[in-house]
Structure 1
Amino acid sequence: MNNTSTTDVSAGQPAEKPAIQIGGEAETIRALTSALGNGALPDVYVCGGQLVHLSRVSGKAASAAEHAHQIDAGALPVQADPITSPSLAWLLAHHAFVFRRKKNKDTEQWEEVEASPTKAALSAVLSSRYWPDVRPLVGVVTSPVLRPDGTLLQTAGYDTGTGLYYAPTVAMPAIPAQPSKEEVSEALEFVTSTLLRDFPFVAPADKANHIGLMIAPILRPYLGCLTPFGLISATTQSSGKTLLAEIPGYIYGLKHLVWRNNDENELQKSITSALHSTAAVMLWDNLAEGTEVSSAVLAKLLTGPKWDDRNLGSNSAGFEAVNDRLWLATGNNVRLGGDMATRTALVRLDPNDPHPDQRDQTGFGIPHLDQWLKKPANRVTVLRHLLILVMDWINAGAPRSGHTMRQFSTWAGAAGGFLAHHGVDGFLDNLAEMREADDENTAWTAFLARWHELHGDTELRARVLCHSAEPELKGGQLVDRWDGTFLTDERDRIPSSKSMGKLLTGHIGRWHGPHVLRSKHDKSANSLVFWVETNTEPDQAEHDQTPADEQQTTLI
C-alpha cells in the first residue's frame, strides 16, 4: 500500500500563526474569506476561479520510467491541488490559530478557545469563484523559462510577472543574460554536433525540427502560443526514436501515456489524467508499427489553448486545464490521418542498418547517451546549453522566420528564426514527406487523379460515380477501371450512393495534390453533381487546398 502525504512548499513556518476569529456561520464565512485574501495560509493560489494549494507529494506512485526522469531522486514533485473542505480545515489547523471567544463560567472572563469551522462554512467559503487578492497560479515549471519580456525566470518560487511557480528539481547554475561568443559557440557545438550527432536523421529538416521542439517548453511563456504534435517516426526498431523523444523529457519532466488506437473516449481520459501532472513533456511511445494517427480528440487538444473534459449529464463543470505541454509520439513507419498532417512536426530516423542496436558506440559524441542522461549533472549541461542559445537569440532581437503553420505560426516563426540565427538549416523542409505520411490525403489524391483520367471534367452524380467503380467483364476477366484507387468503406466495399454523396460533399473545394473536387446543384436531377479540376501549377494548388479563412495559418 502506498501512503501519501503532503507538505508545504514553504521552507519554514512563521514564529506565530495568524489569528482568525470565528463566530456564527455568517461571521465565520466572512472571517475565513478575508483571511484567505490576506494570505493567512501559505502556498495558496487561485487557478481558474478555484483555490489551490501548492505542495510537495511524498510516496507518490510512479513508474520506473518516470522515476528515471526525476532529475534529483531526493526532490519531491510539486503539484497544485484544488482546496476542498477537508483540506482547508487541515491547512487552518496547521497554519492558523482559529478561535472563538468564549466566557469562562468560573472566572467570568472572555477567553480565546481554538475551534474548527463547520463543514458548511468551509464549503460556503470555497464556493466563491472571485478571489481578487489571492495570487493567480498559471502553472508549475521545473526548469527555467523565458518570460514575456524576454528575461529568464530562473529564481525558485512564485514569479509575479508570469504567475508561474518555479520548482527546480536540481540546482541550476545562473544563466547569463548576455552569453559570451565562446559560450554560444560551445553550446551550439554541443547541441548539434555532440548531443544529436549520432541519431540517424533522414535529412537536415528532421534534426532542425527536433531542436525546434526541444526549445518549445522554454519559449512557451514568452510566445504565449501552442506547439504542434511532434512525431518521431523510424524505419525500424532500435533507431533511437525513444531516446530522442526522452531528451526533452529528461530536462523538463516526462509523462508516459498509453496510445488507445481508435478509442477516442480512452484517449480523452488519458489526456485528462496526464494534465494533472506537472510534466512538461507528454509521450506516446512505441506506437504499433504502421499505426495511423487520426484523432478528432487529439486535433482538438493541439489547437485549443485550454483542455476541458466535461462531465456529460452532470451539473459539474468537469476538468479544465491550460494546454501548455509538448505532445510527442514515436513509432515505426507511423502514418497520419485526418487533419493531423497540418498539426504535426515530423522527425524521421533511418539507420540504414539491419542491426542498429549493435552499432559500435566507441566513436559516438556521447557513448551510451541513455545512461549519460540519467546523471543529474549531465541533464543540467544539456539544459544550460539550450538556455544559452535561447538568450543569445533574445539578445539578437529574437528574429523570426517566414514559416507559418496553421495555429502554430507563432511557434514556427520563432523556432525558424532561432534556428536560422544559429545557422541550423532545414526547419520544416520535410512538408512533402509529411503529406506522404497522411494516409487520407494520399488516398484522396490517387482517387481524384484517376477520376479525372476516366471522366475528365464531366459532371457526375454520386450514383453514376459508384456505378463506374463496379468491375467490368473483359476477355472473361473482371477488370477494375479504377486500379484500386476508388474509395471504399471500412469493410473495403464500394459505398452506397448516399454514403458516397456525403463523403464527396465533405471534400468539396479541398485540394489533394493538384486536384480539387467541385460541385453544383443540378436542377433537372434535383441533386448535386461533382467533377474534378486539375491545376498544373503545384504551388497554387498547394496554396488553395485550404479554405480562404484559414490560408493565413496554414503550413506552406
Structure 2
Amino acid sequence: MTATADTGPISPAANTAPADRLAIEIGGEAETIRVLTTALGQGALPDVYVSGGQLVHLSRVSGPADTATDHAHTTSAALPVRAEPLTAASLAWLLAHHTFTHRMKRNKDTEEFEPVETSPTKAALSAVLSSRYWPDVRPLTGVVTSPVLRPDGSLLQTSGYDTATGLYYAPTTPMPAIPATPTTQEVTDALTFVLDTLLCDFPFVAPADQANHLALLVAPILRPYLGCLTPFGLISATTQSSGKTLLAEIPGYLYGSKNLVWRKGDDSELEKAITSALHSPAPIMLWDNVAEGTVVSSAVLAQLLTSPHWSARMLGSSGAGFTAANNRLWLATGNNIRLGGDMATRTVLVRLDPNDPHPDQRDQTRFGIPHLDTWLKNPANRVTVLRHLLILVMDWINAGAPRSGHTMRQFTSWAGAAGGFLAHHGIDGFLDNLDDMRDTDDENTEWNAFLARWHELHGDRRVTSRILCQTAEIDVVNGQPVDRWEGAFLTDDNGRIPSVKSIGRLLTGHIGRYHGNHVLRSVKDSHANALVYWVETRTDQQQPGPDDTQDDSHQPRLPA
C-alpha cells in the first residue's frame, strides 16, 4: 500500500515495500508534511490516538514495574500500556517499524526511478505534530486497568479501545466477566465480603466514616458513568498505626496510585506537584502521612477540586502551558489533620480511632483478612475485591441507579449517586459527619468564636472596623490586664491584632457567611462615610434563608 498527499485514499504499490508494511512516498519538505498528515489521519500507524489535540501512542514498557519512584510502600505498579505524546523521534521510530517511507530516486545505471527507504527530517516530523486538529483519529480519554461504567450504565470489561468512552482498558491481571445482572446470592456475598471481611477491622469512629470510605472506593468505577468531579478524601486518625495508610492503599491497589509530598503553606510548590502528578496515568493521587496537626488550607487545591481541567505554565517556558483533565481521586492521610479556607466544603471525611494505646500491637491473625497489606499485593486477591465491588455497582445499576438527596457544592452529582448506591445496599451514614468536618475547619472555628463573642459584647449595635479594633485593646483593671474578647479576636500569623485596614478587608470577605449560628452583616453608613458591621444570630429553630447557604446547603437532604 502507498500513501500520498494528493491521491487521498491509500492505494496499492508495485512490490516496493514489504508485505506487512504500508508504503508512504514522500518528496520535498512541504509535500512530506502533507503526505504524513494524510497518512496519520487515515490510521497508517497502530495504537496512535489523539488526546487534548495532541497525538499519543500507546506503548508497552520493558523492565520491572515502576514501583520505587514515589514512596517506599507505593501501590502504583506500571500500567501494561502507556499513552506517550508523539515526538519527532518517536514518530520516526514508528514510521521505520510500521511503514516503508521512501523517496523515488533515479538509478544511475538504469535511469529508472526506484524507491529508496528514508526517514523524514526532524523539521517535517515536528511540523506534522504541531497540528492540534485530528478529526479522523480516535480520541483517547485515558487508560484504565479495571472495569468502569460507561455513560449508558453498561460495564466496560473487554480489553482494548472502547469507542463509547474513548478509554483503553488494559487489565494488569485477567479479570473474570462480571454479570450484567448479578444474582441475589452474589450481591449478598459481595456485601458480606466488603463489610464483614475487607473493612471490618478498621476502627471507624462512626458509620459515616465507613460509608464515606466506600463512596470514595467506588468513585473510579462510577466516574465515566457520572462524568463529574469527586471531592477530596481525607482519612484522619487519632494516632499512629490506626490503619489510615492501608485504608487509602485499598483503592491504590485496585486502580493504581501515585504518592505525593505535602509541603506546608507553599502553594507554588503544590501547583508544581499537581502538574507533575497529572503527567502520571494513575487515577488515585495520595498525600500519605501528612504531618500531624497540619492544617490543609490551599487555594490551589481548592481550585483544583472544583475545576474539570487543570492548567499550568510549564516550568522553564515563557508561554507554553500544560492542560489536563482533572479526572483523578485526590486523597490525604494523617493524624488529627485540620482543614482551612474552603477545603471543608470540598472534603469527605473518614475518621479512625483505635482507642488503644498500642494499636500497632493488635493481633492481626484474628482480623477478617490477616495482614491485609500483604494480602492485597497478590493480584488474584485484588481481583477478588474488585469483583465484589463491581457486583454491588451492577446491582445498583439494575435497580435503576437510584439517587439520594445529598447535595455537596460542585459534587452533587457524585454525592447523589454515591448516596443512592449506599442506600440501595442498606449502608447508612453517608456524609452524616459534616458537622464534625466543620469542626476540623480551623478558620470556621476561629470565626465562629469571634462572631459569638462579638455578639455578646455588642449585640445588634453597628460598629465600624476602627471601633471594633479599639475594643480589642487590652484594658488594665486594678493593675491587671483584661481582654474583653477573651482571646477570641482575630489575629494575624504572628498573633497580633490586625490593623484597622486589614480588619476591614477580613470582615468584607465574610459578609453574609454563616459560621455556626452567627452571620456578619454590613451596610454603608452615609453619615460616617464608612461601612458598619453587626452580627446576627439565628436560633436552632430558625431555618436559613436564601442568603444563609454558605455552609448549610451542604447538609444532606434526604427525600421524603
Asked if TM exceeds 0.5, the reply is yes
**Residue 367 of structure 2 corresponds to residue 377 of structure 1:** no
1:28-427 → structure 2 map (5 Å cutoff): 28-59=32-63, 61-63=66-68, 77-311=80-314, 314=317, 316-427=319-430
Choose 528-537 or 418-427, whichever is displaced more.
528-537
Question: By how many angstroms is 1:279 displaced?
Answer: 1.1
- Aligned with residue 24 of structure 2, among 20, 23, 35: 20
Choose 62-71 or 252-261, whichever is displaced more.
62-71
- TM-aligned CA distance change 1:150 to 1:461, over 3 Å: same
- TM-aligned CA distance change 1:539 to 1:89, over 3 Å: farther
Q: Distance in 2 between matches of 1:423 and 1:498?
A: 54
Aligned with 2:111: secondary structure?
coil
Q: Distance in 1 between matches of 2:344 and 2:546?
A: 15
Q: String of CA shifts for 1:212-262, please: whole Å, max 9, x gaps.
A: 000000000000000000000001110000000000000000111000110
- TM-aligned CA distance change 1:180 to 1:406, over 3 Å: same
Superposed CA RMSD: 2.0
Q: Distance in 2 between matches of 1:538 and 1:263?
A: 42
Q: Distance in 1 between matches of 2:225 and 2:443?
A: 35
Q: Distance in 2 between matches of 1:457 and 1:241?
A: 46
Aligned with 1:540: secondary structure?
coil
Name the aligned partner's letter for residue 262 of structure 1.
Answer: G
Question: By how many angstroms is 1:310 displaced?
Answer: 2.1
Q: Distance in 2 between matches of 1:367 and 1:467?
A: 62
Q: String of CA shifts for 1:453-503, please: whole Å, max 9, x gaps.
A: 000111111111011011111121001111111000111000000100011
Aligned with 2:334: secondary structure?
strand
Tell me the equivalent position of 2:472: 469
Q: Distance in 2 between matches of 1:314 and 1:79?
A: 25
Q: Distance in 2 between matches of 1:512 and 1:538?
A: 16
- TM-aligned CA distance change 1:543 to 1:207, over 3 Å: farther
Question: By how many angstroms is 1:187 displaced?
Answer: 0.3
Q: Distance in 2 between matches of 1:164 and 1:515?
A: 48
Name the aligned partner's letter for residue 120 of structure 1.
Answer: A
Q: Distance in 1 between matches of 2:141 and 2:238?
A: 40
Choose 523-532 or 386-395, whichever is displaced more.
523-532
Q: Distance in 2 between matches of 1:543 and 1:351?
A: 41
- TM-aligned CA distance change 1:264 to 1:473, over 3 Å: same
Aligned with 1:57: secondary structure?
coil
**Residue 490 of structure 2 corresponds to residue 487 of structure 1:** yes
Name the aligned partner's letter for residue 305 of structure 2.
Answer: L
Kept in 2, the 8 Å contact 1:137–1:163? The answer is yes
Question: By how many angstroms is 1:539 displaced?
Answer: 6.4
Tell me the equivalent position of 2:9: none
Q: Distance in 1 between matches of 2:261 and 2:381?
A: 28
Question: By how many angstroms is 1:70 displaced?
Answer: 6.0
Kept in 2, the 8 Å contact 1:514–1:538? The answer is no
Q: Distance in 2 between matches of 1:542 and 1:521?
A: 22
- TM-aligned CA distance change 1:62 to 1:364, over 3 Å: closer
Tell me the equivalent position of 1:519: 522
Task: Give the paired residue count.
Answer: 539
Kept in 1, the 8 Å contact 2:53–2:133? The answer is yes
Structure 1: 5+ residue stretches without partners: 1-13
Q: String of CA shifts for 1:23-72, please: whole Å, max 9, x gaps.
A: 1122111110011011111111111111111112234754277696669x
Aligned with 2:549: secondary structure?
coil
* Amino-acid identity (%): 74
Structure 2: 5+ residue stretches without partners: 1-17
Q: Distance in 2 between matches of 1:543 and 1:368?
A: 51
Q: Distance in 2 between matches of 1:540 and 1:449?
A: 18
- TM-aligned CA distance change 1:243 to 1:102, over 3 Å: same
Q: Distance in 1 between matches of 2:75 and 2:465?
A: 58
Aligned with 1:58: secondary structure?
coil
Kept in 2, the 8 Å contact 1:508–1:517? The answer is yes
Kept in 1, the 8 Å contact 2:451–2:535? The answer is yes
Q: Distance in 1 between matches of 2:544 and 2:489?
A: 22
Aligned with 2:394: secondary structure?
helix
